[in-house]
Each structure stands twice: as C-alpha cells, then as structure tokens.
Amino acid sequence: MAGGVDTGVLDPRAAEQLRRHHVRRHVLARVGVYVAAILAALACAGPFIWSAITASKLNEDLYDPVNNPFVFNDPPTLDHIVFLFTETTFPTFAWNTLWVGFLVVAITLALGLPAAYSIARLTRSWSGAMGILIFFVYLIPPSLLFLSLSRLVVSLGLQDSTWSLVLIYPTITLPVSTWLLIGFLKALPKDIEEQAMVDGYSRVGAFARIVVPLLFPGIVAVVVFAFTLTASEFIYALAFIAPTDEKVVSTGVPTELIRGDVFFWQSLQAANVIIAVPIAFVFNVFLARFISGFTMGAVKG
C-alpha cells in the first residue's frame, strides 16, 4: 500500500499484454521445438531417402551431374532391384545374416541372462569387479583379438563357414549385453523373487517365471543390439569367410556389387534399404522398451 493505492494490482491492460506476451513465448517455443524435431528427422532420414530414390533411378538419371539427386528426373525403374535378387546371391546373404543373427542373439541371451543374474543377485565380494571387467572386455578392439580368434576358428575347422561367425560374434555381444542386464536387474527389487521362493518356487523357477518377464525391456535392448551388431560387423566376416554362398550381407553385398572399378550403385542402395527397413520396423515397434532397457541398464549399472 502506498498513499492508499494497492500497487500489487496490475492494470487490466497491462495484465492482458503480459498474458499475450507469455502466450507468444509459449507458441514460439513450441514452434521452435517442432522445427528442430523436423530438421533432425530429415537429417537422420536423409541418407535413407536418398538411398531409396537412388535404387529406382535410371543410369542416365543418376550419373547426370545437373540432375537433382532427390527427385526422379527420368521415370523410375525397378530393374536394379530385380537385378539384385535375380543376378546376385543377395537372398543367400540375407538368409545367412538372418540365421546367424538369430543364433547369436539366442546364445547371447542364454549365457548373458544367467551371468547377469549371478553377478547382480548372488552377492559376492568379487561381483562388482567382475561386472566392470566384463564391460571392459567389450572395449577391446576386435583387431587385437583377430589372430587368437582366427587360430580358434582354424583349429575347430570352421574357416570359410558362417558357423565361425556364430562362434565369434558372442564374444562381442556378450560383455555389453551382460552389463546392460546387470543394471536392469539391480533396478528390480529382490523382494519379488524372494516372495516367489517363499511361495514354493526354486531360485531357478523364480528367475524364469518372475524375473525374466519383468526383464523384457532389457531383453529387447539386448536383442536389438546383438542383432544389429551381427548384421553390420565387417572385419571378422571378411577375414573368416571367402565362399560366396557362405557370406553375410555386410561382406557379400560390397564384394558382389563392386567388381573392379564397376559399381552397381543402384543395386547397392537397394540392398541398404531392403536390409534397413525390417530392422527399423522392429526397432520402432519396441522403441519404448528398447530405450527403457538401455537407460535403466546404464543408470543402475
């Protein structure tokens, strides 16, 4: 109060101007967020869009430097996609990648789940150090392990066979997958399985029937990580496999579609799109659980 006038009450006109100011700021902030999100989405999707358009372009359209690479200056064609499936062994590469990835994921889960559970739940003095050591194994560059792993592959008679990849890839996927699952298990209260054991379950039964369903987000994260890494790994796949009918996509596509100085560019891009679409679809279906598995594993690990 000053001189009997309440200075705490705003003039209605000033109050309306303040309200409009806040509304404008709110609208501009939302517009800015949406614009940034759209630009980020375009930046991320740009290579994929370019690959999809390139895969359907005629040679004269693709190699003319004055043409816009993001539009069809000439009518599109499916000849390069047909060439990929009929004139190359791409279907074999895709099948090899699929079954190798499936087996690697299965091995990763079969070994990683019990390992993560034993470290996270069976309290021992070495548990923490063991968890850190497992993660450090993942940080070892594959090139340092190449000679020892190649001797192992040769001694088992698996050279030039996709079974060599089934043997080798879990050494890459297991450490980080176990680390993620340890973190996720630490986020689950022990009371859940203890109550299950009070109700008559064994520890193994409580783990299989109670813990594993609750670990689903972490399992999804491990599945996506392991399969993506398996499908994209190049060094071991190139070094251990030479026969064309045993190759996977990561090595088969470039060696089959790059012949000397001849690049089957449209077919290369078609292969990229065909492999990326199923992985992207599965990833987006389980996106929320994938992020949950990674964040909980990272925070609690």
| Predicted pLDDT at 175 | 86
Assess contact for 168 and 142: CB atoms under 8 A. no
| Predicted pLDDT at 292 | 57
- Indicate the residue type of 199: D
The structural architecture, per CATH, of the domain 80-300 is Orthogonal Bundle (1.10)
| Predicted pLDDT at 124 | 67
| Predicted pLDDT at 102 | 93
| Predicted pLDDT at 291 | 59
CA–CA separation, 181 vs 41, rounded Å? 30
**Phi-psi bin for 255: left (phi > 0), alpha (psi -120 to 50), beta?**
alpha
- Mean pLDDT for each consecutive 10-residue tract of the chain (301 residues)? 50 75 80 88 84 88 82 87 89 92 93 86 70 74 79 87 91 86 81 79 81 82 86 87 89 85 86 83 68 49 42
| Predicted pLDDT at 217 | 79
CA–CA separation, 171 vs 149, rounded Å? 10
| In the chain, domain spans | 12-77, 80-300
Assess contact for 67 and 61: CB atoms under 8 A. yes
Tell me if the pTM is above 0.85: no
Location of structure tokens 């064994």: 202
CA–CA separation, 275 vs 288, rounded Å? 22
| Token pair listed for 20 | 């409009």
| Predicted pLDDT at 288 | 62
Residue 259 has phi, psi (to 5 degrees) of -115, 95
| Predicted pLDDT at 287 | 66
Residue 11 DSSP class = P
